[in-house]
Amino acid sequence: MCLNLVTFINGKLTFLCFFSPSLAPAHLSVGSCSLPHLCISIASAYHKKVKSTLIFGNLGLTICMLMLSLSAISNTAKADHTSNKQDIEIFETALENGLKIIVVPLKSNGVIRVGIIYDVGCADDPMCKIGISHFLEHMMFKGTKNISMKKLNYLTKKYNSYVNAGTGDDFTFYHYILNKKFLDVDLKIEADRMVNLELNESDIVSERNVVAEERNMRCDANPTERYICDALPKILYLHSNYSYIGIGYPHHIKAYSRLSLKKHYDRFYAPNNATVLIVGDITQEEAFKKVEKTFKYIKKTHEINRQRVLDPKDLNIKYTMDRASKQVTTRNLSIYYTFDRSNVDTLKKYYTAKIAIDSLCGTSRSVMAKKFIDRENKVYSIDGDIILNAFDKAFVCIQASLRENTKMLDMEADIDNVVKNSPITKENFEANKKRILNNIDIMKDNPTEMFDYVLQNKVLKYSTDDIKNVKNIINSITFEDVKKFEENIINERNKTHRVYSHPEGVTA
């Protein structure tokens, strides 16, 4: 079964660590882990699409999803960004046992995407068992007391066009794309796995080898990946739970026992710590009824407290990392600005930040792209991202890939000068605001994109009301709001980290 580590970058769900012990990946979407930039367990922030690894059977459903995406793109120009109506229909309820249910009805020719999300991720791992959340995700495909691993694989292949799972810093999820008439099958599988997971010693031993090889392939044998996954978080997060790699370290992987896995499973896999998310061609009444019928018999467990170590604030320390590697072919500069997460604790604040970053450096028509690429020819590319998790601090990152005649320190000074002058114009602001609204319209016709949008915003603790009314919220953002974020957050005072990455033997 295909398993991943995932996170959010610049508002997109991103997968890291692709591995299938029994099947070669059938499909990889755009993206790679190639640039010196990350947020804990992440892939490159230069790529904005969701990475997926395994597509099962039923080609008709897969083709249907492709057609939905193409149809959505063709409808973008027809969008009305001035409506005061609720932008996205989202229905939310909860069962008596605490299980939350979110349904987003969309017209999608019978296709739905369904998933169950648990409020547990790599950052919830005990320090002595780092990586156990990811390992437990693997074990969830080994079968239950009622469904053998062989039968589980058969059912998921037969009734779904896509099956996947992921472990992020703050969540773990299991999800499917299918025809809605088979929804009961997947709900029964997830209800059974919530309470009846079979943790066999032989499976644990064999899976240790699988995960150890995954780590070796993704980290130890690949210096670039190891830097992205392991070294960089150590300077971004000093003491926080986000400072260690989600896949764990070799001595941790060897130490996972049936008892420790069972303890982690019993603590976090419960209805009062889970959300069922259904997006696609189904009514909320039908979806609520099916979920309630399947999960209502599972008992609520103890109250679950997520214990986190957070970094101290305002240390007034600046960090420099100089990385030389044979795998790096160009000289790259990354600059990080650290700020308190309260500055993006609502969806309006988040999109204000996103518009500011995209206007400054995050698109091909940004202020810095026009200056450093088009006019001065100093860099091959320049980009920017907002990096945040459910807890702890947040970052703005500016990354540039330098041309041969551009010196690293000179480029850093040039970026500092641009930032100092607060150069975002009203034209930049309006263009990026419109682009984001267009992207939301595309998403509204695509269950896969909509699922990711709702998932990321719920994990990041944004309110359902804000998620429903996202276009109205974006339309309420003013040029003054964006300038205020630019001036208060992206400045020399908040500049805390710089990373030089270059080929071996080449001066930074």
Distances (CA, A) of 316 to 151, 319, 336, 497: 56, 10, 14, 11
Q: Give 318-370 pLDDT, tens digit per residue.
A: 999 988 888 788 899 999 999 999 999 999 999 999 999 999 999 999 999 99
Amino acid 225: pLDDT: 74
Beta 394-402 vs 331-339: how paired, if at all? antiparallel
> Which string of DSSP letters, residue by residue, matches 459-489?
HTT--HHHHHTHHHHHHH--HHHHHHHHHHH
d(CA 508, CA 502) in angstroms, rounded, equals 6
| pLDDT reading at 65 higher than 80 | no
Instruction: Retrieve residue 256's tokens.
Output: 């996972």
CB atoms closer than 10 angstroms to residue 504: 10
CA-wise closest residue to 133 among 275, 309, 4: 4
Query: How open is the CA angle 311-317-320, to the nearest 5 degrees?
Result: 105
Residue 73 has pLDDT above 80, yes or no: no
Locate tokens 């939310």: which residue? 92
Residue 173 and residue 186: Cα distance in Å, rounded? Answer: 13
Judged by DSSP in three states, 376 sits in coil
pLDDT band at 14 (very low <50, low <70, confident <90, very high): low
Rounded Cα–Cα distance for residues 500 and 508 (Å): 6
**In b/e form, how buried is each residue of 227-246, taking b as 16+ CB within 10 angstroms?**
bbbbbbbebbbeebbbbbbb
24 pLDDT higher than 60 = no
Fold exhibited by the domain 3-73+88-295: Cytochrome Bc1 Complex; Chain A, domain 1 (3.30.830)
Give 101's Cβ-side CA count (13 Å radius).
Answer: 23
**In whole angstroms, what is the distance from residue 383 CA to residue 439 CA?**
18
| Rounded-to-integer distance, Cα 290 and Cα 155, Å | 18
- Do 3-73+88-295 and 319-503 fold alike per CATH? yes
Rounded Cα distance between 286 and 294, Å, is 13
Q: Which residue has better confidence, 226 or 402?
A: 402
Pick the CATH number of 319-503 from 3.30.70.60, 3.90.400.10, 3.30.830.10, 3.40.50.150: 3.30.830.10
Q: Can you give 278-291 as a three-state secondary structure string?
A: EEECCCHHHHHHHH
CA dihedral 460, 462, 463, 464 (to 10 degrees): -70
Separation between Cα atoms, residue 268 and residue 133, nearest integer Å: 10
pTM: 0.83
Percent of the chain with pLDDT over 90: 67
241, amino acid identity: N
Pairing of the two strands 495-503 and 319-325: parallel
pLDDT for the residue numbered 85: 64
Question: Looking at the predicted structure, is the pLDDT value of residue 190 above 50?
Answer: yes
Give the Cα separation of 382 and 57 in Å (integer): 40
Question: What value does the mean pLDDT take over residues 25-41?
Answer: 28
Of 309 and 404, the structure prediction assigns the larger pLDDT to 404
Sign, Cα dihedral of 241, 244, 245, 251: negative
| pLDDT at residue 329, as a whole number | 85
Question: Phi/psi class of residue 347: alpha, beta or left (left: φ > 0; alpha: ψ in -120 to 50)?
Answer: alpha
* Complete DSSP assignment for 206-249: HHHHHHHHHHIIIIIT-HHHHIIIIIHHHHH-SSSGGGS-TT--
**Please, what is the end-to-end C-alpha distance for the chain in angstroms?**
42
Find all residues with CB under 8 Å of 330, minimum gap 6, and list them.
380, 401, 402, 502, 503
* HEC-encoded secondary structure of 68-133: HHHHHHHHHHHCCCCCCCCCCCCEEEECCCCCEEEEEECCCCCEEEEEEEECCCHHHCCHHHCCHH
Strand pairing category for 394-402 and 274-280:
unpaired
Per-residue pLDDT of 445-491, as tens digits, reads 899 999 999 999 999 999 999 999 999 999 999 999 999 999 999 99
Instruction: Please return the burial class of 27, using the count of CB atoms within 10 Å of its CB with bins 0-12, 13-18 and 19+.
Output: exposed
Backbone angles phi, psi at 487, to 5 degrees: -75, -35
Q: How far apart are CA 341 and CA 308, in angstroms?
A: 15
**Is the confidence at residue 309, as pLDDT, over 80?**
yes
Share of the chain above pLDDT 70, in %: 83
Domain extent listing, the chain: 3-73+88-295, 319-503
Task: Supply the pLDDT for residue 220.
Answer: 79
